[in-house]
Amino acid sequence: MGSVFGNKVKISVFGESHGTGIGVVIDGLPSGERIDMEELYAQMSRRAPGGDKTATPRKEPDKPQILSGMIDDVTTGAPLAAVIYNTNTRSQDYGNVMSSPRPGHSDYAAHIRYSGYNDIRGGGHFSGRLTANIVFAGAVARQILKRRGIEIAGHIYSIGNVSDAPFDPVGIPQELIDRLNHEKFTLVDETKEQLMRDEVEKVRIKGDSIGGVVECIIQGMPAGIGEPMFFGVENVISSVVFGVPAVKGIEFGSGFMGSRMTGSMNNDEFYYDGDTVKTVTNNHGGILGGITSGMPIVFRAAIKPTPSISIQQNTVDLQSGEDTVLTVHGRHDPCIVPRAVPVIESAAALAVINML
Ligand SMILES: Cc1cc2nc3c(=O)[nH]c(=O)nc-3n(C[C@H](O)[C@H](O)[C@H](O)COP(=O)(O)O)c2cc1C
């Protein structure tokens, strides 16, 4: 598998949804960095399931146990290892999935790739639960980055056909970053919350699911970072963001909309703000030629609808070699998007800490 990322700050993610536990080892962190554990737990609880009808009713505290790399909440420079034990598993829900792959999930492709030896219970290593590791590592990285003037925020850009107000791409105020970083249903325009919840509820009661888009901004990035052609800023961010299950697309700046603009509309004109070169607009999303321009990095990730739905679907029985039907049991988010926000922010943090 390829569950290791990074060359400067390297993360190695392990575990399966219904095994003993999941965890992450972070190698290459600077020593002497104090980590505010309450803040770290706050980030993890933004991703954790439970207590919300948009999310799975599987309730787990997601409390990481630190095995090494920190003394009294300060990094030692040794690999930082954290484990989260699985306490709330119901593997019997996956009995029928063992031989009948869920449409839209990793079951079939993983069965072929790992010759049927992969742990399929709860999605195994492909489960959304594994993203708790990304949030743990990302929360550590974010605190280190924040000390160096770099902050990251995300929000639910859309669910189904309901959209939030977009980020101002030339920069968002500190108060908004602070508010968004501590919300579970993360919105710029909080009046959209009920409309989005209604959108999710409409599909949930039918046993169906719905997707959406997460928007993320990285502020305070110095200009001149990035290693094009293949390790440019877009390459590196995309590579971690696509490590998040259910991400099916990413766009930077004006993205796909930019492809419909003229050059004069899409180009961002430069000006001096004191000694700093800035752009009036930010259709380039803070990246030119794979290198940071010093403007905020803005990107959006498309999240597909949760594949596990309780509506009956056609599939195949890999044991009998016949077509069959499947009704997925178990506890699944009818909409992954709210919980994906802190995961995408964390993925961005891990990409950035490696590029600096
Ligand atoms: C936070 C989070 C929670 C998820 N929860 C579920 C879930 O409850 N049920 C499910 O079928 N998929 C869930 N997924 C998505 C699957 O893990 C993912 O669709 C699957 O591994 C296939 O990968 P792909 O969609 O990237 O192709 C979740 C993803 C994330 C990021």
Q: Is there a contact between 250 and 301 (Cβ–Cβ < 8 Å)?
A: yes
> Domain limits of the chain?
4-355
**pLDDT of 331:** 76
Ligand 1 binding pocket includes 131 (Cβ within 6 Å): yes
Ligand 1 binding pocket includes 292 (Cβ within 6 Å): no
Atom 2, ligand 1: which residue's CA is nearest?
Answer: 128
Q: How far is the CA of 108 from the centre of ligand 1 (A)?
A: 14
Atom 21, ligand 1: which residue's CA is nearest?
Answer: 126
Place of tokens 């403007």: 295
Q: What percent of the chain has pLDDT over 70?
A: 95
Ligand 1 binding pocket includes 329 (Cβ within 6 Å): no
pLDDT tens-digit map of 30-73: 999 999 999 999 999 999 987 676 766 656 667 899 999 999 99
Cβ within 8 Å of residue 220, ≥6 positions away:
148, 149, 150, 151
**pLDDT of 330:** 76
pLDDT tens-digit map of 259-306: 999 999 999 999 999 999 999 999 999 999 999 999 999 999 999 999
Task: Please state whether the peptide bond connecting residue 229 to the residue before it is cis, i.e. omega within 30 degrees of 0.
Answer: yes
What SS3 string covers 298-356? EEEEEECCCCCCCCCEEEEECCCCEEEEECCCCCCCCCCHHHHHHHHHHHHHHHHHHHC
Place of tokens 């997601």: 62
Q: Provide the CA 352 distance to its chain's centre, in angstroms.
A: 14
Q: What percent of the chain has pLDDT over 90?
A: 88
C-alpha to C-alpha distance for 317 and 340, rounded to whole angstroms: 31
Q: Rounded to whole angstroms, what are the CA distances from 224 to 147, 276, 287, 298?
A: 20, 13, 9, 16
The whole-number average pLDDT for the span 76-88 is 94
C-alpha to C-alpha distance for 130 and 144, rounded to whole angstroms: 22
332: pLDDT strictly greater than 90: no
Atom 30, ligand 1: which residue's CA is nearest?
Answer: 128
**pLDDT of 96:** 65
Atom 5, ligand 1: which residue's CA is nearest?
Answer: 128
The whole-number average pLDDT for the span 16-30 is 95
**pLDDT of 56:** 66
pLDDT band of 221, cuts 50, 70, 90? very high
Q: How far is the CA of 246 from the centre of ligand 1 (A)?
A: 5
Ligand 1 binding pocket includes 158 (Cβ within 6 Å): no
- The helix (H) or strand (E) run that includes residue 113 is helix 107-113
pLDDT tens-digit map of 124-161: 999 999 999 999 999 999 999 999 999 999 999 999 99
**pLDDT of 95:** 64
CATH no. for 4-355: 3.60.150.10
Ligand 1 binding pocket includes 336 (Cβ within 6 Å): yes
Beta strand spans in 72-193 (E): 74-75, 80-85, 151-159, 162-163
Ligand 1 binding pocket includes 304 (Cβ within 6 Å): yes
Ligand 1 binding pocket includes 133 (Cβ within 6 Å): no
Quote the mean pLDDT of the chain. Answer: 94
Closest-lying ligand 1 atom to the alpha carbon of residue 246: 25
The whole-number average pLDDT for the span 100-104 is 95
Atom 14, ligand 1: which residue's CA is nearest?
Answer: 128
Cβ within 8 Å of residue 307, ≥6 positions away:
102, 103, 104, 105, 209, 246
Ligand 1 binding pocket includes 308 (Cβ within 6 Å): yes
